[in-house]
Structure 1
Amino acid sequence: MTIMQEENRKKPEGAGKTPSASSITGLDLTNFFLADVQGGVGPYLTVYLSSARHWQAGPIGIAMAMAGFAAAVCQIPAGLLVDSSIHKRALVAVSALVTALACLLIISMSGMAPVLAAQILMGAAAAVIPPALAAISLGLVGRRRLPGRISRNQGINHCGSFVSAILAGVCGQYLGLNWIFYLVCGSAIASACGLLLIRPTEIDQKIARGSEDDNNEPPIAIGRLLSQRPVWVFLCAIVLFHLGNAAMLPFAAQVMAKSHPGAEAVTLSACVIVAQFVMMLVAWGVGRAMAHGIGRKPIFLLAFAILPIRGLLFSWFDAPYAIVAIQILDGIAAGIFGVIAVIIASDLTDGTGRFNFLQGMVALAVGIGGGLSNLIGGYIVQYEGYRVGFLSLTAIAILAFVFFLCLMPETRESDESPSKLPQAA
């Protein structure tokens, strides 16, 4: 049971609010277009630096890690900012436009310093977008409708990634790798326009930060939240998850860039397309599974179990079609993570007023794990080769599975039966 659930267990919870069609449409459009913005240019930067700039694996690892570390530094301030701000739409819009400017910086200036500066900007923006979007969703629909809403958010987001990956492959193959960066800029502007459809008066600011609607008490102390065992176990498990996972696709992209020069953009886009299509289906499936009473822990354990299998397969197969096929597993694991991580954070902060702070801590854990994965993995690959790099990530992934299995409790409330769960808005 979470910190405030014992104190609030006798309080009746409503089924959640039903926002207007305009707000729902705006939130859907924002999630669709932000799919191409949230991760910056992601693995495409690896291909660009390797093919167009001729960087080695070590410096590429530093560049990829920089965004993760920048995001890590900004996560706690970002979560606190989202908790305290009533201008959550503006926070998302500004972050999207900062990402667009960073993309223009990478392609307009040569040298390592502009790339690192751009990655820092992208990391800072990436720290704000996820907690702000989750807060907007929570404030619009309420906690009881949140699992269905987050499942819908993630499904639409992955659909957007699916479409943008197709466009990125076409642009990279026929127009040049630079056009992948321009595509991100266009998506950033479109997402800002989608935010205008969300009516700010429909966002309940108390609920959006994880407080009870009728609770005028200030949020609980941060130290009290972080001292709870389920909270720090959850955060450590996320670090391990991304430490064993984040560098796998960039490594695969580098393998393709070396073995099939000239076709790497299309092949990488195929990887992203396959993964995003699977994520879209998995996000919907996870929402249905929770609606039928399946707990958070067994669903999340499936994602942890997939990572070492994926690492072993990458270490054995390097043909482009095999790498694309292996991305099906990434789609399953990432699709589960995108939904369940938000729901567990909501469970752990129910009634505390610290939902967005913990969202920031989750993103901090993602940034730390992802940054270390690219940094450490990049130098392992440079000195020991790709096979050793993949096997190293596999060993970490096995540790992550055991850690989560043994230490993380179930966070689903005992009274959250399928019959009591309202439909998603």
Structure 2
Amino acid sequence: MASASRACFSPRSLDAINFLLADARGAVGPYLNVYLVTERGWSQSALGVVTLVSGVAALALQTPIGAVIDRSRAKRGAIVLALAVMALGAVVVFARSDFWSILAASTMIAVVGDIFYPAVAALTLGLIGRRRLAQRTGRNAAFDHAGNVVIALLAAAMGWWFSQRAVFLLVPIFAVLAAAATLSIPAQAIDHDLARAADPDGKARRRAARPGWRVLLGCKPLVAFGICAFLFHFANAPLLPLVGQVLAFAHPAWATAMMSICIVAAQAVMLPISILVGHTADRWGRKPIFLIGFAVLPVRAVLFTLSHDTGWLIAAQLLDGIGFGIYAALTPLVVADLVRGTGHYNLALGAVATMTGIGASISGLVAGVMVDAFGFDAAFLTLSLVAAIAALVFAMAMPETRLELPREPAGPG
């Protein structure tokens, strides 16, 4: 019956959701940091405080949101509501530039951003099933990266023709389009048990009834993966904003365009990487591919210290397409492997996202203070060291998670 219900679902709807959500989120992202530092004269420390506070507020809800999505049958509605709040936050950023307004708007955007990742992952699993999940997660990531390329180009055009501030008005436009794409998925096409990685047999239902925290902490590979995710994002999250600021100070009139070039360079590489990962993860295994992604990150951070030439920095940023491209495509798949049959898939995704958020929030403040005190190169080298530790921990602590699955009936992909 689940297969029959999924037959009325068009894969293009998932494609559109991933593409348009990237456009909606990407019109705020790193542009806010560059805008506040270069056009509004904010210090790195003040920017770090906003990043930390908004990140901590979001972290308090990240894992509970995953648990709610596991139990909710209104996954489409959750995405639409989050888009509405994100659009409102972007309008506030456009209209105001004082500390408290930006802090409130940034916090709103960060909190509702918690919803997108587990909700889209739940829709994907509930619509596609496990057998073709590797290929579908790669395709999701590819459309997400394509959306990031488009919004980066649009933002560059808006920043050039109008102002950096005008970029934030793109958010409400893409929020409406993303909401329409979400609602184009028929509610009856979603298998909500499958969407939370629950199996129909009695044993699996008993496992699903266990407290979520016990399931998460009892899975040692999931705990190890959470630690690796924390270290990876601690090292990775500040790199793009810092590079964008280096380029913005060197080319003040081209600040938004320079940030867009960095984003497009990496996202253009992520797109084919995501497709490749989706097609090879079941054959090669998850761990060897993931190790490549972890190993690239410290190399990229060190390269940023060798020269601040514009061409060099943009070329080094291409490596983000490999590192983060692999991470984004494989994370939903690895988590699905680890919690198979528990019924706590979205809770686990939320927990991993919490770890990544903690890493990104803390590192934003740490990197900002280091830049103010010691300069950009010191921050890059510190982040490189953390990235190397992340790669070592992953290599030693994470097992291969791929398992053979029984075949599911073919359906839309």
The answer, yes or no, to whether TM exceeds 0.5 is yes
Shift of 1:56: 1.1
Shift of 1:348: 0.7
Indicate the SS of the match to 1:101. helix
* Contact 2:90–2:171 (8 Å) recurs in 1: yes
* Contact 2:70–2:344 (8 Å) recurs in 1: yes
Structure 2 residue identity aligned to 1:304: F
Counterpart selection for 1:228 from 219, 230, 233: 219
Structure 2 residue identity aligned to 1:378: G
Shift of 1:71: 2.4
Distance 2:267 2:397 in 1: 30
Distance 1:16 1:284 in 2: 25
Superposed CA deviations along residues 93-134 of structure 1, whole A, max 9, x for unmatched, are: 111121111111112123101111111111111111100000
**CA-atom RMSD in angstroms:** 2.1
Larger helix proportion of the pair:
2
Structure 2 match to 1:8: none
Shift of 1:20: 4.2
Superposed CA deviations along residues 47-81 of structure 1, whole A, max 9, x for unmatched, are: 11012211111111222333432321111111011
* Contact 1:17–1:141 (8 Å) recurs in 2: no
* Contact 1:19–1:141 (8 Å) recurs in 2: yes
Q: Which runs of 5+ in 1 are unaligned?
A: 1-13
* Contact 2:239–2:380 (8 Å) recurs in 1: yes
Structure 2 match to 1:72: 59
Normalising by structure 2, report the TM-score: 0.94
Aligned residues: 409
Indicate the SS of the match to 2:253. coil
Counterpart selection for 1:246 from 227, 231, 237: 237
Structure 1 match to 2:352: 362
Superposed CA deviations along residues 115-158 of structure 1, whole A, max 9, x for unmatched, are: 11111111111111100000001000111121111111111111
Structure 2 match to 1:376: 366
Indicate the SS of the match to 1:212. coil
Distance 1:233 1:37 in 2: 32
Sequence identity of aligned pairs in percent?
36
Change (3 A) 1:71 1:138: same
Distance 2:47 2:346 in 1: 32
| 2:165 is aligned with 1:178 | yes
Normalising by structure 1, report the TM-score: 0.92
Distance 1:23 1:422 in 2: 13
Structure 1 match to 2:185: 198
| 2:402 is aligned with 1:397 | no
Distance 2:2 2:279 in 1: 17
Q: Which runs of 5+ in 2 are unaligned?
A: none
* Contact 2:91–2:169 (8 Å) recurs in 1: yes
Distance 2:398 2:101 in 1: 41
Structure 1 match to 2:264: 273
* Contact 1:38–1:129 (8 Å) recurs in 2: no
Counterparts of residues 26-65 of structure 1 (less than 5 Å): 26-38=13-25, 41-65=28-52
| 2:308 is aligned with 1:321 | no
Superposed CA deviations along residues 289-314 of structure 1, whole A, max 9, x for unmatched, are: 124x1111111111110111110011
Indicate the SS of the match to 2:400. coil
* Contact 2:3–2:409 (8 Å) recurs in 1: no
Structure 1 match to 2:300: 310
Distance 1:313 1:179 in 2: 33
| 2:281 is aligned with 1:263 | no
